[in-house]
Amino acid sequence: MKKVIFTQEWMAMHPYEKPDEVDQYYTELANAIYHALDEACFTHNFKNVEDAKQLALSIAGYFEDTLSSTGIWKAFTSECVKRYGCHIPFYENEAQYINSALTGNDAPYVEDEINFADIKFLLWHHYQQSAYVQEAVPFLFGTLEVAAKVVYDILDKEYETAPENERMREFLCEYDDKMGKDMLEVSRRDILAWFHYGCYFNLGNQRRLQFTLQQMANSPQGLNEQMAYAVQMDMTITLRNNLLSLTSYEWLQKICENQPSHAYWEDEDFKKVVADAEKERAVDHEQAIKDYNLLKAKGYGDKFVFLEDNKTLKEFFKEIGYELPANIHLPQKYEKGIIVCGSPYTGINVTYMQAHNIASPENPYYNADRAAEDAFGIISGNGRPFPYEIVCKLIDSNMLPDANIFTSKYVKEDGLRITQAFIQFLADYYLLGRKDKDLSPKELW
């Protein structure tokens, strides 16, 4: 078997430098996974071979994590159960939704073991997050099912004999309270940086850091080592590009919750650092709340208002006492059907070209046939037609019944059923939103 993935590439996903026999084993496993994916034609989905290699490395990392009981993937599935009622969106019990030969192994999900559903999710997630993929990727297609089967068979065969990585478990789970305060801080930041930029669980964070630093280096202000380090650490604390839109700090709190290392993330001084960083990035909602209250005062606070054109929109603004900011100009070319809605945190929202997607008795512009083609763009954020909070409101009000990630006529019916079953997860995934963080407080409505 030709070696495509080398030990140094495996080591780049780990917080220590010197490889041992365990790392050699997982490097070989990553190669076996890569070749299996290649034979299943799944690597052909990636224009960049490095993305395909990263997928193989990440699946090997998932296997290492599961065997070594480091708890990273378990924290993810536990959070999915809490939010969505299942360990893995789409793929756990998918036969309930899909009447298709595509559904293969539908065995019950078993915690702390490898699962067919896990492999399928990792394949879909990596393909969706590839640098060149801009559109939403349907999560059921033939090559994914075949690739997941061959990879699962490899891992299943290795499961009883594969070595645990004790160094990884010690790094992530242990805590030495005899270290001085300065050394504890260094250790905590090392763990954060590794998890955010190196762990198999997180995709694209290293690329985002490099892009940000390059922009700063090209600016008149320039970039020095101290600034680069500050940016790097700020991202580990505040950036929410990880799965389920949790920061790396929040993920480590969950992963280490029942381990001695939880002390790193419960430290009061560090919690203050996190709180200060979040406060610095916080959005000022004062003006949005004032604007929203104009809607609320006229009884439109929790409503979607459907208007014909700019003329009726201006009349509506006059009715509620809202003055359009001088720097905002209404589009002159549009189809009939303008949506006005709002929330305390988003203010007044005006949306064009989307009324045909919204199923509401008050909406004369709704068109189910067109919505079947276009409505999922609201979920995937194509063009960002609505803020996340408004999308959640549409979902909760069942106003997006036609939103379907699948466009092929052969799977459209089944695809609609499973898309609708996991529509909140999909909105959270694509819009990087969280209902526990991003919705207006109830008392402001």
- Per-residue pLDDT tens over the stretch 27-38: 999 999 999 999
Q: Over 70: is that where the pLDDT of 392 sits?
A: yes
Q: Over 90: is that where the pLDDT of 66 sits?
A: yes
Question: pTM above 0.85?
Answer: yes
What is the pLDDT, as a whole number, of residue 204?
Answer: 86
Per-residue pLDDT tens digits for 338-387? 999 999 999 999 999 999 999 999 999 999 999 999 999 999 998 788 99
What share of the chain has pLDDT > 90, as a percent?
76
What is the pLDDT, as a whole number, of residue 103?
Answer: 54
Between CA 84 and CA 306 the distance in angstroms is 31
Strands 347-352 and 305-307: unpaired
What is the pLDDT, as a whole number, of residue 104?
Answer: 56
Structure tokens at 300: 């439109």
- Domain borders along the chain are 7-158, 175-281, 286-444
Give the residue among 43, 319, 60, 50 at the shortest CA–CA distance from 201.
60
Give the residue among 308, 377, 317 at the shortest CA–CA distance from 349.
317
Structure tokens at 189: 């930041």
Between CA 77 and CA 113 the distance in angstroms is 12
Least confident window among 53-67, 92-106, 258-272, 427-441: 92-106
Alpha carbon of residue 5 to chain centroid:
27
Between CA 341 and CA 300 the distance in angstroms is 8
Between CA 310 and CA 326 the distance in angstroms is 16
